[in-house]
Structure 1
Amino acid sequence: MFDISFTELMLIGVVALVVIGPERLPKVAKTVGHLLGRAQRYVSDVKGDIQREVELDELRKMKEEMETAARSMQTSMQQTESSLRKELQSPVDDIKSEVDEFKSDFEPQMSSIDKQVSNQAQLSEAPPAAQTSPAPVAEPSVKSDAPEAKP
């Protein structure tokens, strides 16, 4: 704190002994010691408070930096997500348009094939008149309620 050498302290002690006197010197030295101790504690408390404020400011700055980084990361992720959706949507739209084109190209052919199939189905369902013969009639079997005898 102060740059005081041993000889300077001796000189101050001799002057204090002469001025204050040998009876009151121990009491004055004790009081000065208490005052210096209080002053040192006060200075250390002030230093600690200042240090805590500096650390608190550093933490606030760090918090703000982290929040800013988090916001920028979030916006970046949202932009990436939207661009990926756009990139993925484009091929899907292309495939849909190709399927629609394919469908429109083959729709007339499919309808004519459907007509041909339905005409052939109608012709195969109706037997020709010359080939119709009466089907043999089977006699219904009579069932009895009595149990059958086993040989």
Structure 2
Amino acid sequence: MFDFSFGELALLGIIVLLVVGPEKMPEMARTAGKWYGVMRRTMNGLRSEVEQQLLLDDLRKEADKLRDYASEEILPGDITASASLRETRANELASEASPPQESGPRQTELDIDVVPPAIHSDDLPGPEDRLH
């Protein structure tokens, strides 16, 4: 905040020590620290309040612009244009999602020409064939 060098601060400390004396120096330092803290909190509060007011002013300007657009009926035209674009896009997606039409004949029943051979009980392993 302030641009003091170390030498300047040391000189200021020596002058205060000579003027006030070593007995009251700690008490004055505490008091100065408290006042500095109060001043800093006040400045931060003012800064945040100014920032909020600037933000509020910006929001009011944006709201006024939107009201101007609405009064010129720009928004209803944009809404209908947006709706027609959405409808066009929905139709495109619906046409892409529909299955392709085949021109050839479709097989609806299974043609089974080959019948697997029947399994006889003689071919199955029995309890005597198990490994012990």
Normalising to structure 2: TM-score of the pair?
0.55
Number of residues of Structure 1 aligned to a counterpart in Structure 2: 78
Q: Deviation per CA, 1:21-78, whole angstroms, max 9, x where unpaired?
A: 111000000000000111111111111111111110000000000111122235874x
1:26 corresponds to = 26
1:60 corresponds to = 60
2:17–2:25: 8 Å Cα contact kept in structure 1? yes
2:127 corresponds to = none
Q: Identity rate of aligned residues, in percent?
A: 34
Larger radius of gyration between Structure 1 and Structure 2: 1
User: Secondary structure, in 3 states, of the residue corresponding to 2:22?
Assistant: coil
Which of the pair is proportionally richer in helix?
1
Task: Give distance in 1, aligned partners of 2:67 and 2:75.
Answer: 12
Cα pair distance change 1:32/1:75, threshold 3 Å: closer
Normalising to structure 1: TM-score of the pair?
0.48
Task: Give distance in 2, aligned partners of 1:34 and 1:53.
Answer: 29
**Gapped regions of structure 2 (runs ≥ 5):** 78-132
- 2:6 equivalent to 1:2: no
Q: Name the Cα RMSD after superposition.
A: 1.9
